[in-house]
Amino acid sequence: MSTSASPDAAVIAVELHYFAAAADAAGRTEERLELPDGATLAGLRELLAGRGLEMARVIGVSSFLVNSVSAPADSLTSLADGDRVDVLPPFAGG
């Protein structure tokens, strides 16, 4: 049986923080996720959207912060080991 990544393939770990509807869809407020080295925010978004219909809906309308800096959801910028990614769905209020 083969796997898509070799056992010695480089990985990074990012800290995900979910807020409001994103936390509800994820079933948690935070998690640590290992990704292949060179992973992008766009790739992470695609991975998260693949976790089910409700998560896909929330991810599709959410904003993202990488290390407290706003980043477009389709960003091809590589994520780095230790990055913090905040998933912020639209908030209502006044």
* CATH number of domain containing 39: 3.10.20.30
Contact at 8 Å (CB) between 25 and 54?
yes
pTM: 0.86
CA dist 87 and 94 (Å) reads 21
Separate counts of helices (H) and strands (E) for the chain: 3, 5
**Residue 2 falls inside a structural domain:** no
How many structural domains is the chain composed of? Answer: 1
Listed residue (15, 14, 4) closest to 80, CA to CA: 14
- pLDDT at residue 7, rounded to an integer: 60
Give me the count of residues in the chain.
94
Note the pLDDT tens digit of each residue in 46-60. 999 999 999 999 999
**Domain ranges, residue 29:** 11-73+80-88
